[in-house]
Amino acid sequence: MNSKWLGLLMLFLVGCGGGCKENKSAQQPMTQSEIEQSLIDMHRQNVASEDSRILDFIESKGWKTKETDTGLRYEFIERGGEELIRSGDAVLADYRIQLLDGTLCYSSDEKGELKFIVGMADLASGIHEGVKLMGKGDKCRMVLPARLGYGLSGDQDKIPGNAALWIEMHIKDVLK
């Protein structure tokens, strides 16, 4: 091997040595707190991105919604009764549950009226929260971020994972 090739090989090895060292340190496993912080940061980015999509959706509809501390957005279409629904009340409602792109997932037209006990039924937490803002006769539209809907996994049927939902609900009766 002549000295020219030997020199290039040495240059390559020296260059790789520095590069390999950097790559080696970049491949060190993350600590538990680094993993947790990374997950928190990713969650914050997901929430911010979803909030932006929801706000764009609401703006495109021209709605004037209010927002709860949890991120539920709602707007009354009609007001009925003055007494608010509470946890433990049995409710009879007409409803439509849609994705933000307009895809209809479920409705009372298809499945019949929804009868459930507030705070106890196997429904999205955002539905329970929204219903407790309503009274008998109220009609309301709600937009639930995925975290108040069916989360990362969806409902394993018509609602995909990580989907924000648009819900219209009419409380037909409250059974105390």
- Summarize pLDDT for 116-142 with one digit per residue, the tens: 999 998 899 999 999 999 999 999 999
How far apart (Å, rounded) are the C-alpha atoms in residues 126 and 132?
A: 10
CA 146 to chain centre: 2
The pLDDT confidence band at residue 18, using thresholds 50, 70 and 90, is: very low
In terms of Cα–Cα distance, which of 154, 156, 163, 126 is closest to 142?
126
Mean pLDDT score of the chain: 87
Taking the domains of the chain in order of start, what are their residue ranges?
Answer: 3-30, 65-175
How far apart (Å, rounded) are the C-alpha atoms in residues 110 and 56?
A: 29
Calculate the dihedral angle through the C-alpha atoms of 166, 168, 86, 121, rounding to the nearest 10 degrees: -70
CATH dotted code for 65-175:
3.10.50.40
**E-strand spans in the chain?**
66-67, 73-78, 90-99, 104-107, 114-117, 139-144, 165-175
**E-strand spans in 108-164?**
114-117, 139-144
Render 81-112 in DSSP notation, one character per residue.
-SSBP-TT-EEEEEEEEEETT--EEEEHHHH-
- Summarize pLDDT for 42-81 with one digit per residue, the tens: 889 988 999 999 999 999 999 999 999 999 999 999 998 7
Q: Tell me the pTM.
A: 0.77
How far apart (Å, rounded) are the C-alpha atoms in residues 121 and 139?
A: 20
In terms of Cα–Cα distance, which of 44, 78, 174 is closest to 118?
174
Q: So what's the pLDDT on residue 139?
A: 97
How far apart (Å, rounded) are the C-alpha atoms in residues 147 and 23?
A: 37
CA 45 to chain centre: 12
